[in-house]
Amino acid sequence: MNKKILKDLQLIFEKKIKETDKTSELENFDSITILQIMNLAKTKYKKNIDGLTIVKCKKILDIVKLFI
Amino acid sequence: MLKEIKNIEIAGIACCVPQNKIFNKNNKYHKNILRTIKAIGIKTRNVADKKTCTSDLVVEAAKNIIKKLKWKNHDIDVLVFVTQTPDYLTPATSGILQDRLKLKKTTLVFDINLGCSGYTHGLIAISSLMKSLNLKKGLLAVGDVTSKLVNIKDSVSNLLFGDAGSVTAIINNKNNRENLFCNYFSDGAGYKDIIVPSHSLSGRKKLAKNCLVENKDNKNNLRSQINMSLNGPNIFNFAINNIPPILINIINEIKNVKYCFLHQANKMIQDSIEKQINSKKITFPSSLKEFGNTSSATIPITICHNYHNQKLKGYALLCGFGVGLSISAVVINLEKTKIYKIIKI
């Protein structure tokens, strides 16, 4: 499951990412990315995630956990 | 549950945009502009110059539709104007429109303060009024110059908004067998998610002194109190969670919906709603790429941009959503509607 989510997130970040990556060090972790993550969660994983929860994620693994 | 207003016919739809075209790729305040354009789906926007206000765009659209439909100005019984960028805080701009269009003094004219849900809210309001007061001919004017509210250094909103005005001619015709169906949803708890704080009359003195001071948010976007402030994630959440169930219910209840004209907010919201509705029988036309988010005018702009001089067969589902936060949806048959080419001033 984690691998599948990570693969979907890589499409959003437009680069290879690891669960241990810090979000603060990712260049594309902006408002567009947050909306794309919310959209992915809603349409593919049937999860409602709000923007503030995503902003608070310090590592990619924290984002992955929101999808499970 | 769907509400029904009987015998309402849309005779025509006309739109007007400013000549001045902005290319988003030239924006200097985004690090990765091409990625942003791809995500929001907006390449160009028509933006009003300093002198042009909302009434200028609406007057041109109104003159065009009155002339083309061969209506007489004194035949118009009601004019409703929906805007969040009126020419003045007071008086209402509808009076200015009445004067400039030389409508009769007995025409019922008033403004409604709404943004992106304004076209469909406006259709519901004017149709209900025409029905209950037995008014024969009405004009629904919608329009905004939202670009004037946006701080160019605010990367949340500086690529989104175009300016436009539109006028829809409506007939209350007993011989018309078609009805207008509608539904709506509001959540006032989200009022701060789309806001221009300077117009607040509580604390007016404090704001008046500071309203032009630009402040940085945590992403280094600059905004003053006279600028529009958007909470993107909250608006996105509201839209993608509340709109699809409303539209799916309507589509299940009313067969033969062929077109779904969504308010053109941004491509991510469009795609998400379209994906959740998941219907191959329904076309989702767009005008985002060329005109951007023109607030209450996006639905008529999308109709006129894609279908001018054509006839739409089957039901059209129109859905506006945004400031409030609010949503409204209207289903109407546009087969007899004259759709005019967008004019530029």
**Chain B residue closest in CA terms to A40:** B272
B244 in contact with A, Cβ within 8 Å? no
Does A34 sit within 8 Å of B272, measured CB to CB?
no
Using the Cβ of A42 and the Cβ atoms of chain B, whether some distance falls under 8 Å is answered with yes
| Gap between the Cα atoms of A47 and A49, Å rounded | 6
Is A42's CB within 8 Å of B240's CB? yes
Across the interface, do B237 and A51 touch by the CB < 8 Å criterion?
A: yes
pLDDT at B105: 96
* B328 SS3 class: strand
A31 touches chain B (CB under 8 A): yes
pLDDT at B289: 96
If one counts the domains in chain B, the total is 1
| Per-residue pLDDT at B156 | 67
Task: Going residue by residue through chain B, which has 345 residues, state the pLDDT in tens, using 9 for 90 and above.
Answer: 899 999 999 999 999 999 999 999 998 877 788 888 988 999 999 999 999 999 999 999 999 999 999 999 999 999 999 999 999 988 999 999 999 999 999 999 999 999 999 999 999 999 999 999 999 999 999 999 999 988 887 776 789 999 999 999 999 988 888 889 999 999 999 888 888 877 666 655 565 667 777 777 777 777 777 778 788 888 888 998 899 999 999 999 998 899 999 999 999 899 989 988 988 899 999 999 999 999 999 999 999 999 998 989 889 999 999 999 999 999 999 999 999 999 999
Does residue B312 belong to the interface with chain A, where contact is any CB pair within 8 Å? no
Q: Give the structural domain span for A54.
A: 2-67
For residue B5, the domain's CATH number is 3.40.47.10
The tokens describing B146, both together, are 């939202």
Check CB contact of B207 with chain A, cutoff 8 Å. no
Could B234 and A50 be called an inter-chain contact, meaning their C-beta atoms sit closer than 8 Å?
yes
Q: Beta strand pairing status for B257-262 and B315-322?
A: parallel
Q: Count up the domains in chain A and report the number.
A: 1
Q: How many CB atoms lie within 10 A of CB B174?
A: 9
Q: What CA–CA distance (Å, rounded) separates B15 from B298?
A: 10
Q: What parts of chain A have a pLDDT lower than 50?
A: none
B240 contacts chain A (CB < 8 A): yes
State whether B237 and A50 contact (CB < 8 Å).
Answer: yes
pLDDT on residue A46: 87
ipTM of the complex: 0.76
Q: What residues make up the domain containing B83?
A: 1-345
- Cα–Cα distance measured from residue B165 to residue B123, given in angstroms and rounded to the nearest whole number: 15
SS3 B200: coil
Distance of alpha carbon B148 from alpha carbon B284, whole angstroms: 29
Polymer length of chain B: 345
Instruction: Please judge whether B232 and A51 are an interchain contact, meaning their C-beta atoms are less than 8 angstroms apart.
Output: yes
What angle is formed at CA B294 by the lines to CA B338 and CA A49, rounded to 5 degrees? 120
B32 in contact with A, Cβ within 8 Å: yes
Of B39, B219, B241, the CB nearest to A36: B39
pLDDT at A28: 79
CATH for A54: 1.10.1200
Return d(Cα A9, Cα A58) in angstroms, integer: 15
